[in-house]
């Protein structure tokens, strides 16, 4: 398996990103959507920030004020026995997550060579509504004709839904609100109509029965989504037996639609694999990776805010090479080139 990690990795580090306000610190710049615009490679970074505390006996919680649009900071005592602080990413109460300790927004980064990026100082998309009050995360960018559509996870006390926005220049953004209600995430649009319809891969999260697995849906207009169908699920004991979901926007190939997706085992080790879908009926799985084509091995993938993670939200097909941009350890951005043929080799193709 040939995975050529860039020598400059990580190509975006937390120290490269200016906080959106002086009393906040950047915890991560990762899980970016990717697109080409003119002669530029665009990354739409997920930037996770947290308030800076000067005390050791408190936990600070950022949250959007839904009336004013301002971010407020709530102070919690670490001695408050109502709450569990054992996971630094969130606060739990009675076994349930009730608050996040960071808030994410989306930030544009630009590059002429696809490796060295200039990161804009201000957010491109910032939490704006009650259904985004805990942050917006993990964008995917799909170009359809001259427009770029952005799907992202919208987090709030109501759960995680899917937001939709669009841009033509990565300067001005138009928001379309919630595309899919909670609980759903890891959603990406196909880059063209198929038999007159738009398609999207989704990852609903059932809480009564079942597991978080991948589905597909279709739409006549990018607004009304229906014909939701199960696509593929967890494989017990496999690299994708604990958790799974979409990754990069599907890529058209001669063999079918190639969708890179993430999978995690029961030890929360996140890897990348692929699934091949029928060109005319993307709800039909032709083949699926029997082993991951990329695993967390480099130091910046194994160690970080949440170690043991490679997680892609965007990739480009350059000739016969997939250039995959990916978040590493939920903290930094990296890039790797993988021969398309090597990815196909991981698929259990039926002849």
Cβ partners under 8 Å of residue 272, min gap 6: 247, 260, 261, 262, 263, 292, 293, 294, 295, 310, 311, 312, 324, 326
Indicate whether 189 belongs to any domain: yes
- Distance separating alpha carbons of residues 55 and 251, to the nearest angstrom: 48
Using a CB cutoff of 8 Å and minimum separation of 24, what contacts does 148-152 make?
148/35, 148/37, 149/189, 149/222, 150/33, 150/44, 150/106, 150/125, 151/179, 151/187, 151/188, 151/189, 151/200, 152/106, 152/125
Q: In what order do the strands lie in the sheet with 184-189?
A: 184-189, 198-204, 214-219, 226-232
In a domain, 319, yes or no: yes
Burial 287-305 (b: 16+ CB within 10 A, else e): bbbeebbbbbebebbbebb
Confidence of residue 350 (pLDDT cuts 50, 70, 90): low
Mean of the pLDDT values across residues 226-244? 96
Measured in residues, the chain has a length of 351
Q: Does residue 133 belong to any structural domain of this protein? A: yes
Mean pLDDT lowest for which of 67-71, 261-265, 337-341?
67-71
pLDDT exceeds 70 at position 146: yes
Question: pLDDT value at position 5?
Answer: 98
Does the residue 105 lie in any domain? yes
Residue 334 domain flag: yes
In this structure, the strands spanning 103-111 and 96-100 are unpaired
φ, ψ of residue 131 in degrees (nearest 5): -85, 0
CATH number of the domain enclosing 125? 2.115.10.20
List, for residues 105-139, the tens digit of each pLDDT value: 999 999 999 999 999 999 999 999 999 999 999 99
| Rounded mean pLDDT, 154-162 | 95
Q: Is 234 domain-assigned? A: yes
Is residue 351, in this structure, part of any structural domain at all? Answer: no
Angle, vertex CA 199, rays to CA 37 and CA 208, nearest 5? 120
Backbone angles phi, psi at 241, to 5 degrees: -90, -15
Is pLDDT above 50 for 351?
no
Structural domain span for residue 209: 4-345
Quick one: what percent of the chain has pLDDT higher than 90?
95
Of the candidates 288, 298, 205, which has an alpha carbon nearest to the alpha carbon of residue 239? Answer: 288
Are residues 179 and 186 in contact, defined by beta-carbon separation less than 8 angstroms? Answer: no
pLDDT of residue 324: 98
Average pLDDT, stretch 68-97?
A: 93
pLDDT confidence of residue 67? 82
This prediction's pTM? 0.96
**Mean pLDDT along residues 324-337:** 98
- Tell me the pLDDT tens digit for each residue of 43-82: 999 999 999 998 999 999 998 988 888 999 999 999 999 9
Q: How far apart are CA 330 and CA 325, in angstroms?
A: 13
Q: Is 350 a member of any domain? A: no
Q: How many domains does the chain have?
A: 1
């Amino acid at each position: 398996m040939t995975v050529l990690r860039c020598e400059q990795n990580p190509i975006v580090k937390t120290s490269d990103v200016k906080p959106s306000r002086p009393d906040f610190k950047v915890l991560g710049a990762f899980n970016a959507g990717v697109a080409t615009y003119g002669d530029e490679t665009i990354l739409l970074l997920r930037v996770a920030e947290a308030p800076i505390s000067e005390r050791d006996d408190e936990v600070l919680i950022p949250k959007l004020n839904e009336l004013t649009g301002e971010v407020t900071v709530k102070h919690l005592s670490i001695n408050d026995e109502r709450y569990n602080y054992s996971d630094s990413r969130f606060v739990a109460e009675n076994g349930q997550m009730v608050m996040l300790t960071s808030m994410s927004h989306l930030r544009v980064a630009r590059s002429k060579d696809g490796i060295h990026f200039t990161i804009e100082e201000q957010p491109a998309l910032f939490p704006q509504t009650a259904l985004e009050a805990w942050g917006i995360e993990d964008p995917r960018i799909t170009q359809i004709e001259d427009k770029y559509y952005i799907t992202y996870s919208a987090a709030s006390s109501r759960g995680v839904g899917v937001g939709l926005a669009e841009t033509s220049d990565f300067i001005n953004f138009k928001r379309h609100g919630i595309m899919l209600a909670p609980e759903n995430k890891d959603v990406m649009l196909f880059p063209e109509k198929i038999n007159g319809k738009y398609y999207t891969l989704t990852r609903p999260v059932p809480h009564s029965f079942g597991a978080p697995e991948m589905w597909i849906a279709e739409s006549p207009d990018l607004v009304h989504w229906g014909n939701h169908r199960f696509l593929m699920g967890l494989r017990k004991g496999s690299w994708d037996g604990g958790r799974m979901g979409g990754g990069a926007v599907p890529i058209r190939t001669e063999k079918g639609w190639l969708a890179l997706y993430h999978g995690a085992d029961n030890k929360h080790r996140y890897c990348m694999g692929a699934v091949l879908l029928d060109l005319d009926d993307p709800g039909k799985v032709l083949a699926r990776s029997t082993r991951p084509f990329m695993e967390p091995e480099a130091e910046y993938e194994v160690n970080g805010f949440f170690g043991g993670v490679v997680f892609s939200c965007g990739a480009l097909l350059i000739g016969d090479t997939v250039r995959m941009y990916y978040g590493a350890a939920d903290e930094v951005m990296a890039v790797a080139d993988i021969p398309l043929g090597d990815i196909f080799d991981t698929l259990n193709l039926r002849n």
